[in-house]
Amino acid sequence: MRGKHSLFYHILIFVIAQLVWLLLLGIWIYWYVSNYIVFEKVGEEVSPQLVYDVQNALPFILGLILLIGLSFTTSLIFRHLNVQLRITELYDNFIGNVTHELKSPLSSIQLYLETLKQRDVPQEKRKEFIDMMMKDADRLQSLINSILEISAQEKKKLLQDYRVHKAEVVVRELIEESCEKFRVEKENYRIISDAACEIVASKDALKVVFDNLVDNAVKYSTKQAKIVVSLICNSKKVTIIFSDLGIGVAAKEQKKIFNKFYRIYNKEIPNVKGTGLGLYRVKEIIKAHDGKITVLSEGEGKGTTFKLELPAYSAMSKRQLKKFLQTENLRGV
């Protein structure tokens, strides 16, 4: 609501500013034309042989350039202001989401601690409560990590440990781990792989990628999440196709979902919790691996497919090998 009003005021200010410039331009032309006539008359009377044309046209043209320049600058300022406004709005949403995400596990931990302090809790319940607290502590930790790891330094730390992996082995292992973490039953996910190929990747970073994709598949499904992961290799690249049968992504939102703080809203599933950082981190990690991520969805309600492309180890250039493995020798790893 506040965003809409601010935008309205900015447009209003912009329109008024343009009108003021036009008015100034009009006054300028009027002043110039009327004075030119006076000067010409006076000049003719005083000294008929004087020629003004060139000298008088110069300030006129300069004045015009100045006014047009100012008008152009106003447009630029307006544009930047709008971008700023959108960022502020996204940031506000982010703060709101993060606050909510932090408070929920915190209040649960507080509740258990107060319960243990005030009541005589039987041994087996005590154990259950401690497990619950640990679960909440894990949640807090992963949330704090996801906020902190945005900073370049943290990203660097995460992306330090590049190694050559068998693509199928690492993808299978990470998907299984993520599915277990987000409680996707074994019968609800499938991993299809047709060939053996190798990739250079940081396993910790890839874990963040698959955790996010699986978590999204679970959060954005109206029923039990169903996931299919296919691995396709060719001589140049390894393609991982991650599909779910969730609510899908509308065409106009497909580009935006990788933006920082951006979150989709679907009336089928309102109030999905999150920070708007997950897919942004996924994109950054894949980019750091010299890869590419795209999203495909036939629209709302038709599932979502993420296509992750990573360079195959065998096709890596010397520059890439040096960057990831600090070596230029293919066999030396």
Partner 1 sequence: MAEDYKGSRILLVEDEETLAVGLEYNLTEEGYLVEWAKNGREAIDFFKSGRFDLIILDIMLPYVNGFEIAEMVRKSDPQIPILMLTAKTESSDKVKGLEKGADDYLTKPFHLQELLLRVNGMLKRKSWYKSSSEKQPVFKFGDNEINFETLNCRHGEEEIRLTPQEAMLLKYLVERNGKIVSRKELLENVWHLNPDIETRTVDIFIVRLRKYFESDPSNPVYFKSIRGAGYMFEEKQ
Which residues of this chain interact with partner 1, rule CB under 8 A?
99-100, 103-108, 110-112, 114-115, 118-119, 125, 128-129, 132-133, 135-136, 269-273
CB of 162 to partner 1, least distance (A): 36
Residue 183: φ, ψ to 5°? 55, 45
Q: Which is nearer to partner 1, 109 or 285 (CB)?
A: 109
| Cα R_g (the chain), whole angstroms | 31
CA nearest 203: which of 238, 181, 230, 174? 174
CB of 315 to partner 1, least distance (A): 44
Q: Which is nearer to partner 1, 17 or 137 (CB)?
A: 137
CB of 66 to partner 1, least distance (A): 47
CB of 87 to partner 1, least distance (A): 21
CB of 102 to partner 1, least distance (A): 8
Q: Which is nearer to partner 1, 136 or 198 (CB)?
A: 136
End-to-end CA distance of the chain: 57
Q: Which is nearer to partner 1, 112 or 280 (CB)?
A: 112
Report the amino acid identity of residue 125: K
CB of 119 to partner 1, least distance (A): 6
Q: Which is nearer to partner 1, 133 or 167 (CB)?
A: 133
**Separation between Cα atoms, residue 308 and residue 293, nearest integer Å:** 5
Sign of CA dihedral 142, 143, 144, 148: positive
Sheet containing strand 189-193, strands side by side: 189-193, 227-233, 237-244, 304-311, 292-296
DSSP run (H or E) holding 233? strand 227-233
Q: What is the DSSP letter of 260?
A: T
Q: Which is nearer to partner 1, 43 or 301 (CB)?
A: 301
Question: Counting Cβ atoms within 10 Å, is residue 306 exposed (0-12), middle (13-18) or buried (19+)?
Answer: buried
